[in-house]
Chains A and B, each alone.
Chain A
Amino acid sequence: MADTSTDNSTSSAGIDLSQFYQVFFEEAGENLENMEQLLLELDIEAADDEELNAIFRCAHSIKGGAATFGFSDVAELTHQMETLLDKLRRHELVPTPPMVDVLLQSGDALKAMLGRHQGSGADAIDTTELLFNIRAMSLGEAPAAVVAAPAVSAAVAPVAAPAATQAASGASQAASSGAAPTAGQRTVELRVGPLSDLAQADNLVELFKEIVDLGTIEALPDDPALEGVRRFKVSTATAESELMDLFTFHVAREQVAFLAFGQAAPQAASAATPQAEDTSFGFFDNAPGAPGKPAVSASTELVSAKPAAVAARPAAAKADKPAAAPEASTIRVSVEKVDQLINLVGELVITQAMLAQNSRGLDPVVYQQLVTGLTDLDRNTRDLQEAVMSIRMIPMSTVFSRFPRMLRDLANKLGKKVELVTQGEATELDKGLVEKITDPLTHLVRNSCDHGVEMPADRLARGKPEVGTITLAASHQGGSIVIEVRDDGRGLSREKLLKKAREKGIDAPDSLTDNEVWNLIFAPGFSTAEEVTDVSGRGVGMDVVKKNITSLGGTVEIDSAEGYGMRVAVRLPLTLAIMDGMSVGVGEEVYILPLSSVVESFQVSTEMIKTVGGSGRVVEVREEYMPVIELEKVFQVPRFDWEHNSGIMVVVEAESGRVALLVDELLGQQQVVVKNLESNYRKVNDVSGATIMGDGRVALILDVGSLVRRSRH
C-alpha cells in the first residue's frame, strides 16, 4: 500500500483498520464480480430499473469501503462510476454500449487497484483516461443536465465537488460550469436515527464541516418524542441524494431523513411506515407556510427534491429486507478451517472403522448395548462426513460466471458473434477441484471461440445462424461430474488433423478411428489453427489441458462432426478428498483401486493367461484380449508361500484403455480418505495417493491411468 492516503481514516477513527482490510477486499471483490455480471446482463435498449439500481449499489458499497479505508484511487474511480450510474438509474441518461464498456474497463481497473493494495506488487494503474471518459459521459453527453430544472443542475455540481476535495484532480472544470452554488440554497432539517449510540451523529457533523462549500450545520435540541434520533439544521445548496451518499459513510441510509425545516412530523422519523406517504402529503401542504423558510424561489427546489426523498425511503426499506436475509444465514469461514474439519472427520472415520473391525468378533447377545452404540456411531460418522464434505462443495456457477465476460471480449476482438449458454450451474463440485478446473475450461472455451465458431459471414454462407453458440453444461453422472463445452462451429477436420500430425512427425495412419484422430490434438505442440493468433493457436494448451485434468483423476473426451461443431466432455470425480475404493490383497500387502475405474472381476486359472511374444501376457475376457498386469511384479511384493497362486483378475479402465490386474484376493469395498504421499514424501510410480485402513495401517491407492499406460509400453 505504497501511495494510499491512510491518514484520514486512521486519524478520524483513531483505531487500526488494517484488521478489516481483508473483509473489505473480499466484499469489494464480490461486489465487482456482481457488477460485472449485471453489466453484462444489462439490456441496453430496455434497461431494468432494478438492475441499474443493483449496479449502482455495487459501486456505492465499494466506494464507501474504499473511502473508509483510505484507498483514495479506488474511491475516486468508483465515485465517478457512481455519478454515471446514478444518472442512468434516474433516467437522466440513456445507457449506451460505450458506457457499458467503460464501466467494465473501470471494473477491471478497480480489480487491479484492489490487487495492488492487497500487495500483489503490480504497478499503479493510470486511470486518467477512464476518469475522463466517465466524466465526459456523465456530464458532456448529458442532455438532461443542460435542459433540466435547477434541481437537476444542482445535483450535477456537487458531484464534482467531493471529487475535487477527495482526489484534488484538476479535471473538474467541466463540472463547475454546472450551476451557481447559491442557486438552490435552502434550509432543511436533518434527522439521524434511531441510533444506538448518539455520538455516531457527530461523525456526520465533522464530515459535513470538512467539505468546503457544502453549507452550514448546527445541532437542534433532541425531540423527546423521538428516542435515539438527533436533529440538525442544515443550510446547503447540495441535493439531498448527494448528502445522503455522504452520510451513508457513517450511518445506514434509512437512518437519515430530510424534512423541511421546522416541520414537525413525528411519524416521518420512523421511516418506511405506511404513514410515510400520508405524511408527505401533509408536508406538501404545509411547506410554503413553514417557519424558517428562506425564500420563495426555493419552493420549486423543495417540490422537486421532496418526492425523491420520499421515494428513496420505501425503496431503501424494501431493499433492506431481502438483503438482510442472506447476510444472517451465511458466514465467512477460511478454507483452512474447513480443511481442518475435514481432516478431523477423516480421523474420526478411521477410528470408527477401527472400532467396527475390532468389535466384529464380539457376541452381540452379551455386548448388545456396545454393538448398538457402534452401529449408531457408524451412521453418525457417515452423516457427519457427508455434511462436512458438503461445506466444500460450491456450485459450478462460480466457474461459469467468468466466461460471459471473457467470451464477449474475445468475440469482439476476433470480430465474431458468439452467444454463451450455460446449463447446470447449480451442479456442485469440490472447491479444490473448482480452482483447478477453471484454467483448463477457460482454454477449452477460448478454443471453441477461436477455432470452432466461424466468422459471421462464413456462418451465413453455410446456412447457419450468424451468431454462434457455445454451450457450457455441467451435470452429475454417478460419482462424477461431467462438464461439457459444446460449440456449433466448424468442428474438427479429420484430413487436416492427420496432415498436421504427419507434419509434426507423429505416426498417424489413415486407419485411425475418428476418436483416435480427435485425440491427436492432445499431442504436445499440436495446433490446428491456420494462423497463430494471440488468443490461441500456439499449440501449448490442449496437451496441458489433458495433463491437468488427468492429474485430477479426470478424463477428456472429444466428439466432433465436421461443419456442425464439436463437444469436449470433461469428467471429474466429485471430490479429491474421499473416494470409493476396492481393496485387493497381493501377498501380505493391501492395495486400493478406485472403484470408479473397476469394470469387473473374475477368477482365472493359469491356463487362461496366454503369452504374446514370450513375455507379454494377455487374457481373454468376453471375446476381447486384454493385457495382464501382475501387481505382484509391478510392486515387487515379497512372497513367503511359494505355493500360492494369484487367481483373481480385476479389469480396470482408464484413459479409454482396459487392463486386467492379477491379484490374490478381493478384500472389500470401502470409502477411503485420500491422503497425499507427496506432502512428506515424493511421487511414487503407479500410486496416486495413500489412505489409512481400519487397522491404522497405510495402504497405497493405485493410479489406474498410469498402470494402463504401463501396459502400452
Chain B
Amino acid sequence: MGMMEKLDVQTQQTELAREYLTFRLGDEEYGIDILKVQEIRGYENPTRIANAPHFLKGVVNLRGTIVPIVDLRLRFGCSSSEYNAFTVTIVLHIGQRTIGTVVDSVSDVMEIPVEAVRPAPEMSSAIDAAYIRGLAQVGERMVILLDIESLLMSQDMGLID
C-alpha cells in the first residue's frame, strides 16, 4: 500500500477533499477524479475495430478527433451491457490522450474527504487492486474510487502500443 500512502500524502498537501464523478456499472457505484473528465455524451455507435479486445467498442468522431470507446461494463465483467437511452459515454482526458468510457449512468459529482476513503482489501476480482484508490462510504452507499488513469493506461487494456 506504499502507493496509497504516497497518494494520500499528495492529496493532503494540496486539498483535504477531492471531487469525484460517480457512475453506475450494474449494481456497483464507481467514482473517478473529476479533473480527468472532459465531457459526458450520449452513447453513439462506434466504428468497430477488428481484432480488438471485446471491451473496446471501436472509435468515434469527437469533433474531428478519433476517440476509442471502452465499455467499462464489459471490462469489469458486468452481467448485462445494454445500450439504451441512459447509457452514456464519459470522455476522459488522460495525459495527452482522449478516451471515451461507456457506463450505465452517471449519478453525481461529490466531494469525498480523504479520511472517508478506506483501502480496498486484497481480493480476487476483475479489477486489480492496483487500480482502486480506495473504497468510500457515502451515506448508505459504497463508492469504489478508481485510479482511472493507470487502469486505462495499463498494458492489458491494449489502448496503447
Contacts and interface: CB of A to CB of B under 8 A. Distances in A.
Contact of A676 (B48, B66, B96): B66
B161 A699 contact: no
Given A346-B64, A692-B61, A698 B47 contact: yes
Interface in B37-55: 46-52
Given A676-B66, A680-B98, A697-B61, A685 B159 contact: no
B158 A682 contact: yes
Given A684-B49, A700-B47, A679 B65 contact: yes
B67 interface: yes
Given A681-B59, A683-B161, A698 B51 contact: no
Contacts of A683: 161
Contact of B97 (A634, A679, A692): A679
Interface residues of B, number: 25
B57 to A, nearest CB: 12
A690 B66 CA distance: 8
Interface of B: 46-52, 58-61, 63-68, 96-99, 158-161
Contact of A680 (B48, B52, B97): B97
A347 B50 CA distance: 26
Contacts of B47: 589, 690, 697-700
A677 B161 contact: no
Contacts of B51: 636, 684-685
A394 B159 CA distance: 35
Closest 6 A-B residue pairs measured CB to CB? A635-B50, A698-B47, A681-B68, A682-B161, A692-B61, A690-B66
Nearest to B67: A680
5 contacts: A343-B64, A679-B96, A684-B51, A692-B66, A698-B58
Contacts of A692: 61, 64, 66
A350 interface: yes
Contacts of A680: 65-68, 97-99
Given A636-B51, A680-B67, A685-B51, A698 B61 contact: yes
Nearest to B69: A681
A516 interface: no
Interface in A51-75: none
Contacts of A634: 50
A676 B59 CA distance: 12
Contacts of B68: 680-681
Nearest to A684: B49
A683 B49 CA distance: 11
A347 B60 CA distance: 15
Interface in A661-713: 675-685, 687, 690, 692, 696-700
Nearest to A676: B66
Given A589-B48, A636-B51, A684-B49, A679 B66 contact: yes
A346 to B, nearest CB: 7
Interface in A188-229: none
A347 B63 contact: yes
A682 B66 contact: no
A605 B2 CA distance: 65
Contact of B59 (A346, A690, A696): A690
A698 B65 contact: no
Contacts, number: 66
A388 to B, nearest CB: 15
A350 B64 contact: yes
Contact of B49 (A350, A678, A700): A700
Contacts of A343: 64
A680 B46 CA distance: 15
A134 to B, nearest CB: 47
Interface in A331-365: 343, 346-347, 350
Nearest to A673: B64
A676 B65 CA distance: 8
Contacts of A347: 63-64
Contact of B60 (A678, A679, A698, A700): A698
Nearest to B52: A684
Nearest to B158: A682
Given A680-B97, A697-B47, 16 more contacts: A343-B64, A346-B64, A675-B64, A675-B66, A676-B66, A677-B66, A679-B96, A679-B97, A681-B66, A681-B68, A681-B159, A682-B158, A684-B49, A685-B50, A698-B60, A700-B47
A347 to B, nearest CB: 5
A700 B66 CA distance: 10
A685 B60 CA distance: 18
B12 to A, nearest CB: 33
A677 B59 contact: yes
Contacts of A690: 47, 59, 66
Nearest to A691: B66
Nearest to A698: B47
Contacts of B64: 343, 346-347, 350, 675, 692
Contact of A682 (B58, B96, B160): B160
Contacts of A696: 61
Nearest to A677: B66
Contacts of A687: 49
Greatest chain A CB density within 10 A among B47, B51, B66, B160 is at B66
A682 B152 CA distance: 13
A343 B64 CA distance: 8
A690 to B, nearest CB: 5
Contacts of A682: 158-161
Interface string A238-279: 000000000000000000000000000000000000000000
A459 B49 CA distance: 57
Contact of A675 (B48, B65, B99): B65
Greatest chain A CB density within 10 A among B48, B50, B65, B97 is at B50
Nearest to B59: A698
B160 to A, nearest CB: 6
Contacts of B60: 698
Contacts of B158: 682
Contacts of A697: 47, 61
Nearest to B46: A698
A699 to B, nearest CB: 7
B56 to A, nearest CB: 8
Contacts of B49: 681, 684, 687, 700
Contacts of A675: 64-66
B50 A636 contact: yes
Contacts of B97: 679-680
A634 to B, nearest CB: 7
Contacts of A346: 64
A131 B51 CA distance: 64
Contacts of A699: 47
A675 B67 CA distance: 11
Contacts of A698: 46-47, 58-61, 66
Nearest to A589: B48
Nearest to B50: A635
B73 to A, nearest CB: 20
A681 B51 CA distance: 14
Contact of A678 (B48, B61, B67, B161): B161
Contacts of B161: 678, 682-683
A593 to B, nearest CB: 16
A692 B64 CA distance: 7
A637 B68 CA distance: 18
A699 B66 CA distance: 10
Nearest to A590: B47
A698 B100 CA distance: 15
Contacts of A681: 49, 59, 66, 68, 159
A569 to B, nearest CB: 31
Interface in A357-402: none
A673 to B, nearest CB: 8
Contacts of A636: 50-51
A169 to B, nearest CB: 48
A346 B64 CA distance: 8
A636 B160 CA distance: 22
